[in-house]
Amino acid sequence: MPLLVIIGYVWPEPKSSAAGYRMLSLIELYLAQGWQVIFASAAEKTDHRADLQRLGVQEQQIVLNDDSFDLWLSTLSVQAVMFDRFMIEEQFGWRVELNCPDALRILDMEDMHSLRHARHQAFKADRPLNTADLNSDIAVREIAAIYRCDITLVISQHEMQLLQQHFSVPSALLCYCPFFIDSDNEQTLLGYDQRQHFVAIGNFRHAPNWQAVLWLKQTIWPLIRQQLPQSHLYIYGAYPPPKATALHNAKEGFYVKGWAEDVADVMQQAKVCLAPLAFGAGLKGKLLDAMQFGTPSVTTDIGAEGMTFADEAWGGIIANDSAAIATAAVTLYQDQQLWLTAQQQGTRILQQKFSAAKLQPVIWQQIQQTSANLAQHRANNFTGIMLQHHAYRSTKFMGQWIEAKNRLPPQ
């Protein structure tokens, strides 16, 4: 049985974040193909992590900057290693290359960290995104990790284009791999008259989500309440800090609820999902949930990015300033026909762009072809060879220096 080792940035929490949901879907993809999977991470285990052992996945606690990882990995017969985000490739890539050089090296980007960072910098400076933002130190690190790996899983078509057109990454190194939805599993969706109020959801540790909550509280929600004074907004998300719970105000109809035990129940009860995202990257799990559970949404261009085609309608309304977002929210809330059309369009987007039955065979074929022709694939990637030669030596020596330093007795 072939073996995949996943080195995780964190232990996957599918109920806390879209990243956790995505990681679980990748694990299930490999399990369905008859692979054995080991998930290893140096992160602390959390109460909300997925029950990987129930899936038959072995868990392995590892340590940063320690040769115990090398000793463990060298005992395994590994056919593929997946790095969860570029920072993990930087930490462990040279150790993987040293101990299992013939294993396929896969980078799962999640979202494109350098793009999210670039947009955040432009947002804080209140100016348009520019080339200097895109060409940041984080971008240099992230693109280098892509070249050092054999194949990179890219979640968004927009990011596929950016990687190829702006950063000139060869298409052979990239694999379009969005969320997977079982579109054949039809469910009965609650109708317009069975729902009320608004919902917003997102992990509070994610900067774009926190900014969206502030935007709602300070500007957008007061505009909505002027027109719908009896309406309520329920905000859910994992790990709410005190500064978030302090925003709760029942008199304003602004309810900060925190952790959502059942996203399906929360989303299905709401009439409209609000996701005013001023910056960010990747695909938005909250909007995927909204479409799955038949809840039309109001979001920004960045929120809807990569989730629909340019000439296609959104499963709701797209708006980009406070007044337009508030107007869109009220209109969608009050117009039953518009609401029903948006709900139906959300279902179509899921079927056309995120169908597991359509996506998984194509993705698996590319992964298998890359693995089958690995020697030639690597020979064609001279930039990757060059970066591996230099970067792995620097990160290797840095890791070994930290390891030696950690072994010194305390002063």
Q: Which of 345, 336, 400 is nearest to 192 (CA)?
A: 336
Check whether residue 310 and residue 198 sit in a common domain: yes
Q: How confident is the model at residue 114 (pLDDT cuts 50, 70, 90)?
A: very high
The answer to whether the pTM exceeds 0.75 is yes
Q: How confident is the model at residue 145 (pLDDT cuts 50, 70, 90)?
A: very high
Q: How confident is the model at residue 308 (pLDDT cuts 50, 70, 90)?
A: confident
Indicate the range of 58-72, 295-309, 396-410 predicted with least confidence: 396-410
Residue 186, pLDDT > 70, answer: no
Q: How confident is the model at residue 261 (pLDDT cuts 50, 70, 90)?
A: confident
Tell me the C-alpha distance between 352 and 348, whole Å.
6
DSSP 357-384: HHHHHHHHHHHHHHHHTHHHHHHT-HHH
Q: What is the pLDDT of residue 258?
A: 87
Check whether residue 217 and residue 172 sit in a common domain: no
Average pLDDT of 370-389? 94
DSSP H helical ranges for 3-45 = 18-32
Residue 150, pLDDT > 70, answer: yes
Instruction: For residue 352, give the DSSP letter.
Output: H
Backbone torsions φ then ψ of 40, nearest 5 degrees: -120, 140
Q: Which helix (H) or strand (E) holds 258?
A: strand 254-258
Q: How confident is the model at residue 311 (pLDDT cuts 50, 70, 90)?
A: low
Which long-range contacts (C-beta less than 8 Å, at least 24 apart) are formed by 137-144? Answer: 138/113, 138/114, 139/114, 139/167, 141/86, 141/90, 141/114, 142/86, 142/109, 142/112, 142/113, 142/114, 143/114, 143/167, 143/169, 144/387, 144/391
346 part of a folded domain:
yes
185 part of a folded domain:
no
Asked whether 343 and 189 are in contact (CB, 8 A), the reply is yes
Of residues 225 and 182, which shows the higher confidence score? Answer: 225
Q: What is the pLDDT of residue 184?
A: 59
Q: What is the pLDDT of residue 313?
A: 87
Q: What is the pLDDT of residue 287?
A: 96
Q: What is the pLDDT of residue 407?
A: 67
End-to-end, the C-alpha distance of the chain in Å comes to 49
Check whether residue 129 and residue 26 sit in a common domain: yes
Residue 202, pLDDT > 80, answer: yes
Asked whether 91 and 63 are in contact (CB, 8 A), the reply is no
Asked whether 216 and 200 are in contact (CB, 8 A), the reply is yes
Query: What tens digit of pLDDT does each residue of 228-253 get?
Result: 999 999 999 989 999 999 999 999 99
Residue 88, pLDDT > 80, answer: yes
Residue 185, pLDDT > 60, answer: no
Asked whether 154 and 175 are in contact (CB, 8 A), the reply is yes
Q: What is the pLDDT of residue 397?
A: 63
Check whether residue 375 and residue 338 sit in a common domain: no
Residues found in the chain? 411
Average pLDDT of 28-41? 97
Asked whether 152 and 174 are in contact (CB, 8 A), the reply is yes
Check whether residue 250 and residue 118 sit in a common domain: no
Q: What is the pLDDT of residue 35?
A: 98
Check whether residue 172 and residue 196 sit in a common domain: no
Tell me the C-alpha distance between 158 and 261, whole Å.
32
Which residues, 6+ apart, have CB-to-CB distance to 332 below 8 Å? 272, 296, 298, 316, 317, 338, 339, 342
Tell me the C-alpha distance between 153 and 145, whole Å.
12
Q: Percent of the chain scored above 70 by pLDDT?
A: 93
Q: What is the pLDDT of residue 189?
A: 86
CA 374, 115, 307, 169 dihedral sign is: negative
Instruction: For residue 261, give the DSSP letter.
Output: S
Average pLDDT of 23-48? 95
Check whether residue 215 and residue 116 sit in a common domain: no
Range(s) of the domain holding residue 279: 192-353
Average pLDDT of 339-364? 95
Residue 392, pLDDT > 90, answer: no
186 part of a folded domain:
no
Average pLDDT of 376-382? 96
| Number of domains making up the chain | 2
Of residues 187 and 236, which shows the higher confidence score? Answer: 236
Asked whether 11 and 46 are in contact (CB, 8 A), the reply is yes
Check whether residue 201 and residue 154 sit in a common domain: no
Q: Percent of the chain scored above 90 by pLDDT?
A: 84
Q: What is the 3-state secondary structure (H, E, C) of 77-140?
A: CCCEEEEECHHHHHHHHHHHHHHCCCCEEEEECCCCHHHHHHHHHHHHCCCCCCHHHHCCHHHH
Average pLDDT, the chain: 93
157 part of a folded domain:
yes
Q: What is the pLDDT of residue 166?
A: 97
Average pLDDT of 283-288? 95
12 part of a folded domain:
yes
Residue 396, pLDDT > 80, answer: no
Asked whether 159 and 268 are in contact (CB, 8 A), the reply is no
Check whether residue 84 and residue 206 sit in a common domain: no
36 part of a folded domain:
yes
Q: What is the pLDDT of residue 405?
A: 62
Q: What is the pLDDT of residue 136?
A: 97
Average pLDDT of 320-340? 97
Tell me the C-alpha distance between 37 and 34, whole Å.
10
- Which CATH number fits the domain that encloses residue 298? 3.40.50.2000
CB atoms within 10 A of CB 390: 10
Asked whether 319 and 298 are in contact (CB, 8 A), the reply is yes
411 part of a folded domain:
no
Check whether residue 113 and residue 242 sit in a common domain: no
Token representation of residue 307: 């989730």
138 part of a folded domain:
yes
Q: How far is CA 196 from CA 188, 192, 270, 279, in A?
A: 17, 8, 5, 28
Q: What is the pLDDT of residue 43?
A: 94
CB atoms within 10 A of CB 223: 16
